[in-house]
Structure 1
Amino acid sequence: MGVKAMNFKQCLIFREIARTKNFTKAAHNLYMTQSAVSHAIKDLENEAETQLFERLHRSVKLTPAGELFLKEIQPMIEEFETVEARLPHLEKQSPLKIASCITFAQTQLPQLLQRFRTLQPAASFEVQVFPAAESIARLEEGKVDLAFIEGQIVQQSVEAKKIAEYPLCVVAEAAHLAAELSFHELLEQPLLLRERGSAVRETFESSAVLQGEKVFPIWESVDSQALIAAVKSGLGISVLPKILVEEELVSGRLKEIKIKEWSLTNDITALLRKSRYQSNLLATFWQLLDEI
C-alpha cells in the first residue's frame, strides 16, 4: 500500500506540535486524540523519508529537516487562515453588478445606492449604463446581478418590478417663440431625439404611429445631455424625460412646449433573473426597491 499524500491537516498538526513541543498538548489544542496526531506525523515523516521531530523524554524538538519544512509551510498556512477569517464576509466584499438606463443613472440611482450603503456599509457596486436591450442581454448572460430599464418587459426568465414613472416633455431653447404646438406641428420641427431602441424614442414613435405620423429626426444620440446641449444651442426641439431637464426649465435655460391633447409617461423597471442565485446582499437590495 502506497504512502498517503501530504494534506493540509497534517501541516496544521505539524505546526501545532512544533509550537507546543508536545504531542499531547497539540492533540488537546486541536481537539484530536494523541493517536490520531501521532499517525498523522508518522505518515508525514514517511512521505518526507526523514524524521521531522526528535523525540525527547517529555517533549519533542524539530530536526533540521523539520525546521526547513516548518519554514516552507508557514506562509501557506497563514494565507489559508487569512482567507478562512474572511470567508463569512466574502459575499459582502463581492460587488453588486448593476446595469442601468441613462435616465435612472442620472437621477435616482445615486441616491438609492447611497441609501443602501448606509444600511450595508461594507457593500460595493459596479454600475454600467446601457440601452435596455443590452442591459437585458447582460442580465440573462449573468454578467450583471440586476438591471434598471426604461419601459416594461414581459419575459419569462426575468422578474420585473416597476419602481418609478416619469412624464416625457418637449423642450426647446429659451428663446423659442412657440408656447404650444399640435402634435403634427411638433413633427414638422427639427427634432433632436434619442437613438432608436431607447425607451423614450420607442414611446414617442409609437405615439406618432397611433396618429398616422412618422418621425424624422435631424439628430440622434445615445446621450441625453448631448441633446440638451444641442437644444440650448437652438438646433431644434427634443423629447426627453422631464426629470432630466427640470433644473434647466426652472432656471429658464430651456423652455417647455405644451403639445395639444398629448401626454406620455415612461416607467422605470427593475429586473432580476429568476434562475440566478440571490445573495443576501442582492435580496436585501431588491427588497429595498419596494420602498422607493
Structure 2
Amino acid sequence: MSGLRKLLPSANALLVFEAAARLHSFKGAAEELNVTQPSVSHTIKSIEARLGTQLFERGNRGVRLTRAGSELMADLSPALRQIESRLRAIADREGHTITVAASTSASAQWLLPTTAQFQRAHPGVSVRILTTDRNVEPGDGVDLTIRRGPADWDRANCWRISEEILYTICSASYLEKSGPVRGLEDLMNHSIIHNAEPYRNRMQWKEWLSLQGHNLTLPETLTLNDYQLVIQACIAGEGIALGWSFTTQRLVDQGILLKPLDNEVVTDHAFYVLGPKYAELSRNKMRYINWISNHAA
C-alpha cells in the first residue's frame, strides 16, 4: 500500500473526491465535509497532478466526472461502503446505539415495552426507535426495521416474529352504549372504524369479511390514516375496528380492548425484523433481535 502515498496527497483525499463526485459539486462536498470550497478544489487538483490526468470537468453549473473520474468512482464508492459497514460492525460490537424503525402502532403497542425490557436486561446497550409511515429498508442510519412480508419470505437477515392475525376490536364502553355484536351481519348496525394508511397495503374490512364468506359493505363511520389512531379511537369508544394481534393482543390481555366476535383471519403474511441484506451484524444487534423475536409471542 506504500504506492498510494505517491498516487494520493493523503488518505482523506479519497473522501473529498468521493463527496465531490457523488454530489457533482465542489461546494456541496465542502459543506458536507465541513471544509472550505477552495480546500476541496485544491485537494482535487493535487490528486489530478499526482495521477497526471483530469478527474473532473469544471463548468459554470458545477462539475462532472471525466472518464478517468468515473472509473475511479465506480471502484471507490462500493469500497467505501464496505469499509463503513465493517467500521460500524466493529464500533457496535460492545455497545453504542441500535436504531430500529417501525410503524407508530407497532412502536407504541409492542416494540416500546419489549425494548424497555431489553434495556433493563442489557443496560450497556442503547436503542433508538424511529416511527415511520412507510416501509423502509435498513441502512442510512437505520440498523433494523420491523416489516410485514409474505409468510414464506426468503431474505437474508430476516427473522419472523409474528403471524398476521386479524379480529374485531372495540372497548367495553362502546358495547355498553351500542349493545353486543351478534354476528358478522350485525356489524352493519354498528359504528365501524376504517384504516386508510397511504403507504402500506393492509387488509380492509371487505377482504376480511370476504375470506369468511360474507359480501358486506360496512358503513364508514370513521376513517383514519394511521393505525395507532384507529387503536386510540377504539379505546375511546368510537366504534369497532379490525385488530392486528401483533399490535393489539397486549391491550386485549389487559382488558383495555375487547373482541366483540370470535372470528379470526390468519393471512398469508407475517411480521419480521430485518437487518441490512448480507451484512454481518454485531453481537449486540443479534442480542436485540433474539430478544424481540423471543418476546413477540
TM-score with structure 2 length normalisation?
A: 0.52
Rg larger in 1 or in 2? 1
Of 258, 281, 285, the match for 1:282: 285
Is 2:160 the partner of 1:162? yes
Paired with 1:157 and 1:181, the residues of 2 have a C-alpha distance of: 43
Cα distance change of structure 1 residues 120 and 256 upon mapping to structure 2, 3 Å threshold? closer
Is 2:193 the partner of 1:209? no
Cα distance change of structure 1 residues 228 and 156 upon mapping to structure 2, 3 Å threshold? closer
Q: Deviations over 1:212-257 (max 9, x none)?
A: 344553322244453355446654322224425437745xxx6642
TM-fit CA distance, 1:279:
2.0
Is 2:249 the partner of 1:243? yes
Where do 1:186-197 residues align within 5 Å?
186-187=187-188, 189-196=190-197
**RMSD over equivalenced CA pairs, Å:** 4.2
2:14 corresponds to: none
Secondary structure of the 1:148 match is strand
Paired with 2:258 and 2:118, the residues of 1 have a C-alpha distance of: 35
TM-fit CA distance, 1:167:
5.5
Secondary structure of the 1:274 match is coil
Q: Indicate conservation of the 8 Å contact 1:169/1:256, yes or no.
A: yes
1:38 corresponds to: none
Code of the aligned partner of 1:221: L
Cα distance change of structure 1 residues 233 and 278 upon mapping to structure 2, 3 Å threshold? closer
Q: Indicate conservation of the 8 Å contact 2:95/2:284, yes or no.
A: no
Cα distance change of structure 1 residues 235 and 120 upon mapping to structure 2, 3 Å threshold? closer
Q: Once structures 1 and 2 are overlaid, which stretch shifts more, 279-288 or 156-165?
A: 156-165
Paired with 2:254 and 2:89, the residues of 1 have a C-alpha distance of: 48
TM-fit CA distance, 1:276:
2.7
Cα distance change of structure 1 residues 151 and 176 upon mapping to structure 2, 3 Å threshold? farther
1:270 corresponds to: 273
- Consecutive unaligned residues of structure 2, counting only runs of 5 or more, are 1-5, 11-87
Code of the aligned partner of 1:279: S
TM-fit CA distance, 1:274:
2.6
Of 117, 121, 124, the match for 1:122: 124
Where do 1:18-33 residues align within 5 Å?
none
Code of the aligned partner of 1:238: A
Code of the aligned partner of 1:95: T
Where do 1:60-209 residues align within 5 Å?
90-91=91-92, 92=94, 94-131=96-133, 134-135=134-135, 137-139=136-138, 141-150=139-148, 152=150, 155-165=153-163, 168-171=167-170, 173-187=174-188, 189-196=190-197, 201-202=202-203, 204-209=205-210
Cα distance change of structure 1 residues 202 and 245 upon mapping to structure 2, 3 Å threshold? same
Cα distance change of structure 1 residues 130 and 122 upon mapping to structure 2, 3 Å threshold? same
Cα distance change of structure 1 residues 209 and 197 upon mapping to structure 2, 3 Å threshold? farther
**Identity across the alignment (%):** 13
Q: Deviations over 1:170-227 (max 9, x none)?
A: 3151423432333233145332122246889416443233333445533222444533
Cα distance change of structure 1 residues 179 and 248 upon mapping to structure 2, 3 Å threshold? farther
Q: Indicate conservation of the 8 Å contact 1:179/1:258, yes or no.
A: no
Q: Indicate conservation of the 8 Å contact 1:194/1:224, yes or no.
A: yes
Q: Indicate conservation of the 8 Å contact 2:187/2:218, yes or no.
A: no
Cα distance change of structure 1 residues 239 and 207 upon mapping to structure 2, 3 Å threshold? closer
Cα distance change of structure 1 residues 226 and 247 upon mapping to structure 2, 3 Å threshold? farther
Code of the aligned partner of 1:162: R
Cα distance change of structure 1 residues 95 and 204 upon mapping to structure 2, 3 Å threshold? farther
